[in-house]
Amino acid sequence: MNIEALREYCIGKPNVSEGFPFDEKTLVFKVAGKVFAITTLDEYPMKVNLKCDPEKAIEYRETYDEITSGYHMNKKHWNTIDFEGKLSNEFLKHLIDHSYDSVILGLTKKEKQELGYL
């Protein structure tokens, strides 16, 4: 999956915003103001930090060489994924979905109602 496909997939989700809050090369995707995906535009191969359930994070790291603990992130809750490795686009989308859903699950009931998730 390339950067254009990543961007299209992420911004196609409800209530997602994108921006460059840190610098001009670090693209951040947020849902309800909370980060679910971060990538650096000038890095090759392209890597993306995605939020992940702690148990699944460990399982994925042990199973896939392309998945490591989150670079510059809380290693318990974030993975760094090589998006140009051997992982299928379907699996990469699954990882994005899981990250997005993890953020939604962490919202308060009021936030979920305001955004139409309840």
pLDDT tens column, 65-108: 999 998 888 788 999 999 998 999 999 999 999 999 999 999 99
Q: In which band, very low, low, confident or very high, does the pLDDT at 25 lie, cut at 50, 70 and 90?
A: very high
Give the whole-angstrom CA distance, residue 80 versus residue 103: 17
This prediction has a pTM of 0.92
Residue 109 has pLDDT above 90, yes or no: yes
Q: What's the average model confidence in pLDDT over 5-29?
A: 96
93 occurs within a structural domain? yes
31 occurs within a structural domain? yes
114 occurs within a structural domain? no
What SS3 state is found at 40? strand
Give the whole-angstrom CA distance, residue 97 versus residue 78: 14
Q: How many domains does the chain have?
A: 1
CATH of the domain at 58: 3.90.1150.30
Tokens coding 82: 């090589």
Angle at 27 between CA 64 and CA 48, to 5 degrees: 0
**Domain that includes residue 85, residue range:** 3-109
Residue closest to 23 by CA, chosen among 7, 39, 37, 11? 39
State residue 73's pLDDT score: 83
The residue assigned the tokens 């702690």 is: 54
81 occurs within a structural domain? yes
